[in-house]
Structure 1
Amino acid sequence: MTTAATTGHDDAVIRAAREVFAEQGMAAPMAEVAKRAGVGVASVYRRYPSKAELVEQVRIAAFRLVIAEAQAARAEESDPWRALSRFMHRCLREGSGIGTVLPPLEKHHAFSAEFRILQQQVAEVIEALVEDAKLAGELRADIDWTDVLLLFKHLNPALPTGEHRRAELRARYLGLVLEGMRSEGSALRGPAPDTAEWRALCDNLEA
């Protein structure tokens, strides 16, 4: 049975792992993750036997956050453009962890069924936000849902400064990006990623 203490422990480890692997890559020791999470190394290994599994769980946690933010935006914002804008701002807010650039996993890594199910749900909820905004005539026709997901990575690079300042910069440049996504914009160069390309980029496996 999952307890509040167990959930809190897992959340702390996931946050720590996201930070450590984003900063140091897969060479980072699990001991550093444990230290930053404030737990013992043995405790981390009991729950996450390998670095690859821990990285996958970091990404699963991000998927869940994306889905929750998309669902809340659609439910609470009657205007489709405001819903899409809110969703993107919330995903890039301070400490969200969404869009953090993690190191690639080994090319033979086999993702869990949970990962694949949530990955598909992410695609569906973001596609719904994008299509709503297009139908309302507020989002340019050549934007695809895959563009939105890749923008999270472009807008959240590793920077040598604290998370508060990084969040300020993400919000600043997201404002510029959103203006470019309006329906009045000139045609974009090149096609959006197709679903297969997005999946490959999302999997983030070694070449």
Structure 2
Amino acid sequence: MPTAASARHDDAVIRAAREVFAEHGMAAPISEVAQRAGVGVASIYRRYPSKTELVEQVRIAAFRLVIDEAEAARAEEQDPWQALSRFMHRCLREGSGIGTVLPQPEAQHPRSVVFRDLQQRVAEVIEALVEDAKLAGELRADVDWPDVLLLFKHLNPSLPTSEPRRAELRARYLGLVLDGMRAEGAPLRGPAPDTAEWRALCDGRTA
């Protein structure tokens, strides 16, 4: 069973890896991750034998954060639109790491069962938020749950400024996006991604 110290170690490594790989891609050395996390290189390799596995764990951590935020928003907000809005704001808040653009894994690297299970759960919890808001007449009918996930990517580009400033900009542009998601908006061009296309985009392959 993990100790509190090992959990803190893992959290520090995951945060550092997310930042380093987002900034420098897979060419970044593990030593850079270790330096930012304040741990030894050997300790990272004992826990994560390869960069590819470490990147997958970063994605798994992001999936868990998305699920937690979606479930909390749906449970605690009575108004479906407020639940969806809260969820998106929380996912893009300062330091969340959700939506960070990471390098794609090697094509031959198989996704773990944990990864696939959490990926599916992410789809389910966001779909529930989206459908609730549609049924309430607050979210436009032509927005689907994959749109929300791809918006996280669009709203969180790599910018040459501090994370607090990036968070301010994310919140600013999310406000514009949420206004456009309201039910009274003009029809959107083109269909939303379907499940197969969303998975392909997540996996870095052609649908």
Cα contact 2:200–2:206 (8 A) shared by 1: no
Aligned letter for 2:145?
A: W
Alignment of 1:74-113 (within 5 A): 74-113=74-113
Corresponding residue SS for 2:148 = helix
Alpha-carbon spacing, 1:129–1:11, altered in 2? closer, same or farther (3 Å): same
Partner of 1:175: 175
The Cα of 1:178 is off from its aligned counterpart by: 0.1
What is the number of residues matched between the two proteins? Answer: 207
| SS of structure 2 residue aligned to 1:138 | coil
Once residues 79 and 138 of structure 1 are traced to their aligned partners in structure 2, the CA distance between those partners, rounded to angstroms, is: 10
> Any idea what SS the aligned residue of 2:81 has?
helix
Structure 2 match to 1:54? 54
CA contact (8 A) 1:17 1:54 kept: yes
Give the Cα separation in 2 of the matches to 1:178 and 1:38: 38
Say whether 1:148 aligns with 2:154. no
* 2:65 corresponding residue in structure 1: 65
CA distance, structure 2, for counterparts of residue 133 and residue 182 of structure 1:
10
Structure 2 CA distance for aligned equivalents of residues 145 and 76 of structure 1: 20
Cα contact 2:144–2:192 (8 A) shared by 1: yes
Aligned to 1:24: 24
Residue 203 of structure 1 deviates from its aligned partner by 1.8
2:199 equivalent to 1:185: no
Does the 8 A contact of 2:81 with 2:133 survive in 1? yes
TM-score (norm 2): 0.98
Alignment CA distance shift 1:158-1:91 (3 Å): same
Deviations, residues 21-57 of structure 1 (Å, cap 9, x unaligned): 0000000000100010000000000000000000000
Name structure 2 gaps, 5 residues minimum.
none
Q: Report the Cα distance in structure 1 between the residues aligned to 2:67 and 2:149, rounded to whole angstroms.
A: 12
* 1:26-41 correspondence to structure 2 within 5 Å: 26-41=26-41
Structure 1 position 107, deviation (Å)? 1.5
Tell me the equivalent position of 2:158. Answer: 158
Root-mean-square deviation over aligned CA pairs:
1.1
Q: Structure 1 stretches (4+) deviating beyond 2 angstroms?
A: 204-207
Question: Following the alignment from structure 1 to structure 2, what is the Cα–Cα distance between the partners of residues 36 and 204?
Answer: 27
Residue 125 of structure 1 corresponds to which residue in structure 2?
Answer: 125
2:74 aligned partner, one-letter code = R
Give the TM-score of the pair, scaled to structure 1: 0.98
1:204 is displaced (CA, Å) by 2.8
Q: Which runs of 5+ in 1 are unaligned?
A: none
**Offset from partner CA, 1:110-149 (integer Å, 9 cap, x none):** 0100000000000000000000000000000000000000
Aligned-residue offset at 1:206 = 9.0
Give how far 1:205 is off.
5.1
Amino acid at match of 1:117: D
Note if contact 1:107-1:206 (Cα within 8 Å) is conserved in structure 2.
Answer: no
The answer on 1:12 being equivalent to 2:12 is: yes
Alpha-carbon distance in structure 2 between the residues aligned to 1:8 and 1:205: 34
Percent of residue pairs bearing the same amino acid type: 83
Determine the C-alpha separation between the residues in 1 that align with 2:151 and 2:32.
30
